[in-house]
Amino acid sequence: MEKRILITGGAGFIGSHVIRNFIKKYPNYLIVNFDKLTYAGNLENLVDIEAADNYDFIKGDITDINLVKKVFEKYKFDSVIHLAAESHVDRSILDPLEFVQTNIIGTANLLNAAKESWANDFEGKLFYHVSTDEVFGSLSKTGFFTEKTSYDPRSPYSASKAGSDHLVRAYFHTYSMPTIISNCSNNYGPNQFPEKLIPLAINNIVNKKQIPIYGKGDNVRDWLYVLDHANAIEMLFHKGEAGETYNIGGDNEWTNLDLIRNLCQILDDKLNREKGESEKLITFVKDREGHDLRYAIDFSKINKQFDWKPSLDFKTGLENTVDWYLTNKKWLENVVSGDYLNFYKKQYDKR
Ligand code: NAD
Ligand code: TYD
């Protein structure tokens, strides 16, 4: 095998698209998916590639240092693409310690296992860490996050991701381990767990349930289609420079309210409902604690260096996403049971 890559969190939303990309394009790379299969990890996301000759799956927790070490010993990886994380801001407000464990301790374990396995010989090695723009904090109505923006995380989720980014930077500066970090804006698309705004709204609209909008709905996010993110990761994995960080964004800012109105129109059309019917489900609820007002990414660095830009316009991306959820009703039914119902009750009842 030309490369032996450990991908963590490959059963999650973004990870499953990254894995599919690599499996299909690089039959000479061995891809090992290491995933705890938390509520957010779902092997149904990978059914089409699970039998591939260059793919292995290991169920495991990145906080389990002995298991992580054993896996490095067995496979002798030359690269890591680290996506495993607790990823939902609202859950981080309810249970911050789980985020510290997985996102900070888990990342430290992986970095150290890689360093030991590579015995400080870093020729041909790479630790690629997938992170978020939320580490930069919150913007007012103007301005953009660049790679030089100071870190200013404000939720337990973003603070734990910032902590993990700092550890990755420390391994580059202290031990000269080749690392790359990318900080990406909000992703949307197929396979996203319906706790995040877009799939939650799609599920609720389909089932004629209220769509909870925090505060006045004037918070702004920059949305990127998940396959564009997966392609950017694949590109930076091959072309990025060790020790560098790269911002990835969609150039696609929407207030939450405008975004949901768009989604309602798309679903009215596709479900043959009367124009304006789904919008009636919009319900303004108590704001998120510490709710960041606006995220916006300046991705001119990867645009100039690698000619990267998002490939899909938002309308097409949203339509594809809605079509995927309408076609994959069983996937959705399977994930909105059990734990999801408990979380939903805790998060939204009496809000
Ligand atoms: P997700 O919640 O859909 O998936 C996370 C995956 O990690 C799941 O498969 C889960 O089982 C696994 N996991 C969680 N804890 C683990 C542990 N202790 N050990 C092993 N596996 C574990 O997340 P996502 O949206 O696909 O995000 C993936 C990565 O991208 C995360 O690092 C996230 O911070 C980052 N990111 C996400 C977005 C976004 O909009 N979703 C944007 C930028 C960056
Ligand atoms: P989310 O999808 O949780 O992503 P993040 O918090 O990481 O940006 O939320 C996107 C935006 O939507 C954010 O401003 C919070 C808001 N939101 C709601 O208004 N209602 C909801 O039920 C959820 C989940 C999010």
335 in a structural domain = yes
CB of 14 sitting under 6 A from ligand 1: yes
d(CA 283, CA 301): 39
Note the pLDDT of residue 260. Answer: 98
Q: Are 8 and 37 in contact (CB under 8 A)?
A: no
Tens digits of per-residue pLDDT, 45-60?
999 999 999 999 999 9
Q: Do residues 38 and 57 both lie within one domain?
A: yes
Ligand 1 atom with the smallest distance to the CA of 87 is 2
| Predicted confidence (pLDDT) at residue 165 exceeds the cutoff of 90 | yes
pLDDT attached to residue 120: 82
| Ligand 1 lined by 83 (C-beta under 6 Å) | yes
Angle between helices 106-118 and 65-75 (to 10 degrees): 40
Q: Are residues 158 and 273 in the same domain?
A: no
pLDDT tens sequence across 233-287: 999 999 999 999 999 999 999 999 999 999 999 999 999 999 999 999 999 999 9
The answer as to whether 304 is a domain residue is: no
Q: Judge whether 117 lies within some domain.
A: yes
Do 85 and 215 fall into the same domain? no
Radius of gyration, alpha carbons of the chain: 20
Average pLDDT over residues 100-122: 97
DSSP secondary structure, 110-151, as one string = HHHHHHHHHTT--TT-EEEEEEEGGGG--B-SS--B-TTSPP
Q: Which atom of ligand 1 is nearest to the CA of 63?
A: 18
Which of 346, 334, 351 minimizes the C-alpha distance to 91? 346
- If asked whether residues 94 and 209 sit together in one domain, one would say no
From residue 4, alpha-carbon distances to 43, 61, 117, 180, 200 in Å are 21, 20, 13, 17, 36
Please check whether residues 25 and 151 belong to one and the same domain. Answer: yes
For residues 140 and 216, membership in a common domain is answered with: no
Q: What is the pLDDT at residue 43?
A: 97
User: Which residues neighbour 41 within 8 Å (Cβ) at sequence distance 6 or greater?
Assistant: 9, 11, 12, 35
What does the mean pLDDT of the chain come to? 97
For residue 80, the domain's CATH number is 3.40.50.720
Q: Token pair for residue 244?
A: 């560098």
Could you tell me if 163 and 263 lie in one domain?
A: no
Question: Do residue 54 and residue 164 come from a single domain?
Answer: yes
Question: What is the percent of the chain where pLDDT is above 90?
Answer: 98
**pLDDT > 90? residue 33:** yes
CA of 219 to the centre of ligand 2 (A): 9
Task: Give me ligand 2 centre to Cα 196, in Å.
Answer: 6
Residues 98 and 178 in one domain: yes
Query: Using CA atoms in the order 65, 70, 73, 76, what is the torsion angle rounded to 10 degrees?
Result: -80
Rounded Cα gap, residues 242 and 100, in angstroms:
26
Which pair of tokens denotes residue 72? 């490095």
- The mean per-residue pLDDT over the stretch 13-32 comes to 98
Using N-to-C axis directions, what is the helix angle for 314-327 and 197-206, rounded to 10°? 50
**Domain coverage including residue 272:** 197-220+253-289+313-348
Q: At 261, which amino acid appears?
A: R
What lies within 8 Å, CB to CB, of 313 at 6+ separation is none
- pLDDT of residue 157 exceeding 90: yes
**Together in a domain, 232 and 215:** no
296, part of any domain: no
Of 134, 147, 165, 228, the catalytic one is 134
Which of 297, 215, 226 has the alpha carbon at shortest distance from 256?
Answer: 215
Ligand 2 atom closest to the CA of 201, numbered from 1: 22
Helix (H, G, I), strand (E, B) or coil at 101: helix
Q: Per the domain annotation, does 308 fall within a domain?
A: no
How many domains does the chain divide into? 2
pLDDT of residue 334: 94
| 3-class DSSP string for 264-285 | HHHHHHHCCCCCCCHHHHEEEE
Catalytic pick from 133, 165, 222, 292?
133
pLDDT at residue number 1: 83
Single out the residue of 93, 123, 102, 107 nearest to residue 171, CA to CA. Answer: 107
For residue 90, which atom of ligand 2 is closest to its CA?
3
120 neighbors 175 (Cβ within 8 angstroms) = yes
The band of 350, judged by pLDDT with boundaries at 50, 70 and 90, is confident
pLDDT for 17: 98
pLDDT value of position 338: 84
CATH number at residue 326: 3.90.25.10
pLDDT for 251:
97
Residue 325 lies in a domain: yes
Q: Is there a single domain that holds both residue 50 and residue 114? A: yes
- Single out the residue of 192, 127, 183 nearest to residue 295, CA to CA: 183
High-pLDDT (> 70) share of the chain, %: 100
Could you tell me the pLDDT band of residue 219, with boundaries at 50, 70 and 90? very high
Do 229 and 333 share a domain, yes or no? Answer: no
Does 202 fall in a domain? yes
Task: State the pLDDT at residue 337.
Answer: 87
* Backbone dihedral angles phi then psi of residue 7, each to the nearest 5 degrees: -110, 120
Residue 351 reports pLDDT greater than 90 = no
Q: Which of 184, 209, 210, 221 most suits a substitution to test ligand 2, by most atoms within 8 Å of the C-beta?
A: 221
Residue-level pLDDT at 302: 98
157 has catalytic annotation: yes
Angle at 306 between CA 120 and CA 21, to 5 degrees: 70
Which residues are 126's β-sheet partners? Answer: 79
The amino acid at residue 336 is V
Residue 48 catalytic?
no
CA nearest to 67, candidates 98, 38, 36, 29: 36
Whether residue 301 lies inside any domain: the answer is no
